[in-house]
């Protein structure tokens, strides 16, 4: 697991987009994390930077079921939703390379984690509780937060899920900055994970280029 620290301007050489596409090959980038972490927003922008398809697993599930996720939960229950989620993610992983945003509970299934490890690189977008709460309050339709105390519910989900999210290949802090800054953090963390530190270029006399 590689945890990202915000970086400065990368050293000269091949563009980071080219390095990542080359290192990924036919693997996909899979974004995991809690609701409100920014997986869909960051994922779309990341896919655009890399010239890859973007897929949102929740949207794909709703399309396949012809129901909204709240309706799936209400009619069939969470276990049935999770089964369908696993099948949809398995299908999407076969369509790679792409950038895939997953639902908050998807990475909790061992079989899904194994499939992601086989065909992709996982990135945990980690956010603090206050950041998540500000974001989820702006958008309803979160079945797991339909409780008397949504903040306490989300805190419980963090305690349960963070140890599993921490097994992702890369961890990037999702904070209240411009989305493009978080996208750049993700790319730099992936570059470090896939390619290792970039050595400085040397001139003919063996001196590092400025």
- 176 among annotated binding-site residues: no
SS3 content of the chain, % helix, strand, coil (to 5): 55, 15, 35
Report the C-alpha gap between 43 and 53 in whole angstroms: 10
- 33 among annotated binding-site residues: no
- 174 among annotated binding-site residues: no
- 161 among annotated binding-site residues: yes
SS3 of residue 123 by DSSP? strand
φ/ψ bin of 201: left (φ > 0), alpha (ψ from -120 to 50), beta (otherwise): beta
Answer whether 148's CB lies under 8 Å from 101's CB. no
- 83 among annotated binding-site residues: no
The DSSP line for 56-116 is EHHHHHHHHHTS-HHHHHHHH-HHHHHHHHHHHHHHHHHT-SEEEE--TTGGGSHHHHHHH
- 141 among annotated binding-site residues: no
Give residue for tokens 């065909």: 119
Residue 98: CB atoms within 10 Å: 19
- 91 among annotated binding-site residues: no
- 140 among annotated binding-site residues: no
- 87 among annotated binding-site residues: no
- 104 among annotated binding-site residues: yes
The DSSP line for 4-25 is -----SPPSSS-HHHHHHHHHT
- 82 among annotated binding-site residues: yes
Feature table: binding site for substrate: 58, 82, 104, 161
Which positions make up the binding site for Mg(2+)?
40
Residues annotated within the binding site are 36-41, 58, 82, 104, 142, 161
Which residues does the annotation place in the binding site for ATP?
36-41, 142
């Amino acid at each position: 697991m590689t945890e990202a620290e915000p970086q400065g301007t990368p050293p000269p050489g091949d563009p980071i987009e080219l390095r990542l596409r080359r290192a990924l090959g036919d693997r996909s980038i899979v974004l995991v994390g809690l609701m409100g972490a920014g997986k869909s927003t960051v994922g779309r922008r990341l896919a655009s930077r890399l010239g890859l398809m973007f897929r949102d697993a929740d949207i794909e599930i709703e399309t396949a079921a012809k129901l909204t996720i709240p309706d799936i939960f209400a009619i069939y229950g969470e276990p049935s939703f999770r089964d369908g989620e696993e099948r949809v993610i398995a299908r999407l992983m076969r369509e790679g390379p792409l950038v895939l945003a997953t639902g908050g509970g998807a990475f909790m299934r061992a079989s899904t984690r194994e499939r992601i490890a086989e065909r992709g690189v996982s990135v945990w977008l980690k956010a603090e509780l206050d950041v998540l709460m500000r974001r989820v309050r702006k958008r309803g339709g979160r079945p797991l937060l339909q409780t008397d105390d949504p903040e306490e519910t989300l805190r419980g989900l963090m305690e349960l899920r963070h140890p599993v999210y921490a097994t992702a290949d890369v961890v990037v802090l999702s904070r209240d900055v411009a989305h493009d800054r978080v996208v750049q953090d993700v790319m730099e963390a992936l570059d470090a994970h896939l390619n290792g530190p970039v050595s400085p270029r040397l001139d003919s006399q063996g001196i590092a280029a400025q």
